[in-house]
Amino acid sequence: MNQEHSSLETGALLIKRYAQALPSSPGVYRMINSRDEVLYIGKAKNLKRRVVSYTHTGHLPIRLQRMVAETSRMEFVTTHTEVEALLLEVNLIKKLLPRYNILMRDSKSFSFIRITGGHPYPLLTKHRGARDLAGDYYGPFASGEAVNTTLTTLHRAFLLRSCQDSVFASRKRPCLQYQIKRCSAPCVGYISHEGYQELVQETRDFLAGKSNQVQKQLAKSMEKASAARAYEQAAIYRDRIRALTTIQARQNINTISLKDADVFAIYGSEGRTCIQFFLFRNGSNYGTYAGFPRHGEDVPPEEIMEAYLAQFYADAPPPEEILLNVSLPNLKLITEAVSQKAGMSVHITVPRSGPKAEIVQHAFNNAKESLDRHVAEKASQEALLQAFMETFDLPTLPHRIEVYDNSHIQGSHPVGAMIVAGPEGFIKNAYRKFNIKSQALSPGDDYGMLREVLTRRFAKALSEDKDDTSQWPDVVLIDGGKGQLSTALSTFADLGISDVQLIGIGKGPDRHAGRETFYRPGREPFQLPASHKVLYYLQRLRDEAHRFAIGAHRTRRIIAISKSKLDDVPGVGAARKRALLQHFGSAKAVENAGLKDLEMAEGINKSLAKKIYDFFHGGG
């Protein structure tokens, strides 16, 4: 009896012993190997019957036979209903990413457009994440590009502010947004509160699907202004109408009979799959996205689609209607779970004819094209990685490359950044930024910053992810020369890390692209020919790390600049902060102001003036 067959029998006997004590109720089960890695998470209407099915190994596909052979223990959670089991299964899959489950490759985070609440002049902005802040949300949008383009056009059409409350409160003159006709400048009183509220309501109406009504009203206002020979005002209305037309021309494509709906189509070839989806809200196209789920080669498309939808709607708000190009094995269960998540009845259908079928076919055609591009790009990427491995004498083909860079201005607001790349290209949901915390570093100490970043990254990985090889890099690329490489080597030595390949990439003379010098431990520094494809690849990695580091630094600097000591004074909100800044000109002037001077500012009574004075001078 060979070892593989013996392991399969051992795994089946182990599962059989677990099954004997299981109830015939709904629940979730986990299969775990000897290294405590979760191999698979499943749900069942009848736990006992489902787990017993794994003991009949002759009926299992090869992929599941391997899983059974690796199983050394199991864990179970019983639930009241099968829907509860499905919801728990999805949450655990997204958290633990088991190897044998069908997985979304990325945790898709959707963007919304938000009109803020709790302020007399609401802000029109992009929002991503939990929708727990005050205001109205519109979306979701399938891509950042879709929401950014729409948001830019909405600012042109409705002239709502885009600045944060702290900036709004401190302005004395209108900003560039007003000059380029994307804001009505409420910060300096160029529009009345009532007039601004009208713009807010028009924006809400447009985003709620009343676009024709809004456009007709703007057309009437333009005609009225023109008749009164207020040509400048008429031109503003004309520009707003044009902006709305731009949105409608882009969004209203092939949306007959669709109001709120998501359209999914799956296409597979040679063991790879693409799921393309379109999002429609209020009859408008809110963007498209292509997902490439991970799955075994023997999994049918219907099962892939079902698992993908369950994970997709764990984060995304479901619409009233979901259109597919394949039938789901557990349609009733998925429909019930999604309806429960939505708080309303959701209909999942496979249209066979008519306009809806045409839209699904359009999504299918896009899925095929997206997969063809993805396969071509992956083949090109794998060829690059092969050339990279050979050029730098790496022991294996790298599956995870981490690139590190720092950003600061003369040592202020220092930030370290890590980007990640692999066979699929950039892995953006794995990027990390590190706000440098050490107070012992001198300004501009790049070596000290690099040491802190690497220590924080790998000390945490050693304590938390020792067995998760997917989170451990094969190669670490440092933006810097011999000194940076020496720092990285000594940091790894202190941490006891010896299985990561280190490469330093030094800038060429006068930062000349194409003349970079590469540093490897135990090897003389060398350069690559200017036309070498590996050089182009490494330049792209370095540039992406540089872009991400600069963006992180800029964000930290903006937060620091916009933060004022006035934000911490009890009783001073946005309106009073604005009044103080307009009266004194700066937060520093407020800090140095006398008690009587503070009482002179608009909206500041004697009691509050005393609080402000005591806050800055240590009284009370």
- What CATH number is associated with residue 538? 3.30.420.340
> Which amino acid would we find at residue 298?
D
Structure tokens at 242: 């044009």
142 and 225 in a common domain: yes
Structure tokens at 126: 């992009």
Mean pLDDT, all residues of the chain: 86
Compute and round to an integer the Cα radius of gyration of the chain.
29
Q: What pLDDT is attached to residue 346?
A: 95
Q: What pLDDT is attached to residue 70?
A: 93
- Final residue of a domain: which of 251, 285, 301? 251
226 and 316 in a common domain: no
Domain assignment of residue 302, yes or no: yes
283 and 351 in a common domain: yes
293 and 275 in a common domain: yes
158 and 67 in a common domain: no
* pLDDT reading at 32 higher than 90: yes
- Final residue of a domain: which of 50, 70, 96? 96
Domain assignment of residue 507, yes or no: yes
118 and 225 in a common domain: yes
* pLDDT reading at 82 higher than 80: yes
Burial profile 94-112: b = 16 or more Cβ within 10 angstroms, e = fewer: beebbbbbbbbeeebebbb
Least confident of 159-168, 464-473, 548-557: 464-473
The answer to whether 481 touches 504, Cβ cutoff 8 Å, is yes
**Residue 254 pLDDT level (bands cut at 50, 70, 90):** very low
314 and 272 in a common domain: yes
Domain assignment of residue 85, yes or no: yes
**CATH number of domain containing 66:** 3.40.1440.10
Q: What pLDDT is attached to residue 165?
A: 87
Domain assignment of residue 381, yes or no: no
**CATH number of domain containing 578:** 1.10.150.20
**Residue 321 pLDDT level (bands cut at 50, 70, 90):** very high
Q: What pLDDT is attached to residue 579?
A: 77
* pLDDT reading at 137 higher than 70: yes
Domain assignment of residue 506, yes or no: yes
Of 490 and 445, the one with more pLDDT: 490
- The secondary structure element, H or E, covering residue 141 is strand 135-141
Domain assignment of residue 233, yes or no: yes
* Mean pLDDT on 517-531: 90
245 and 279 in a common domain: no
* pLDDT reading at 218 higher than 70: yes
* Mean pLDDT on 85-94: 93
Domain assignment of residue 387, yes or no: no
| Dihedral of the alpha carbons of 322, 366, 94, 461, in degrees to the nearest 10 | -160
446 and 339 in a common domain: no
**Residue 253 pLDDT level (bands cut at 50, 70, 90):** very low
Least confident of 116-125, 437-446, 602-611: 437-446
| Domains: count for the chain | 5
**Residue 619 pLDDT level (bands cut at 50, 70, 90):** low
The answer to whether 400 touches 303, Cβ cutoff 8 Å, is no
**Residue 293 pLDDT level (bands cut at 50, 70, 90):** very high
* pLDDT reading at 512 higher than 70: no
Q: Which domain holds residue 69?
A: 3-96
33 and 15 in a common domain: yes
**Residue 513 pLDDT level (bands cut at 50, 70, 90):** low
604 and 540 in a common domain: no
DSSP 8-state symbol, 316: S
* Mean pLDDT on 83-87: 94
Domain assignment of residue 382, yes or no: no
Least confident of 39-53, 280-294, 317-331: 280-294
532 and 430 in a common domain: yes
How confident is the model over 536-556, as pLDDT tens digits?
A: 999 999 999 999 988 877 777
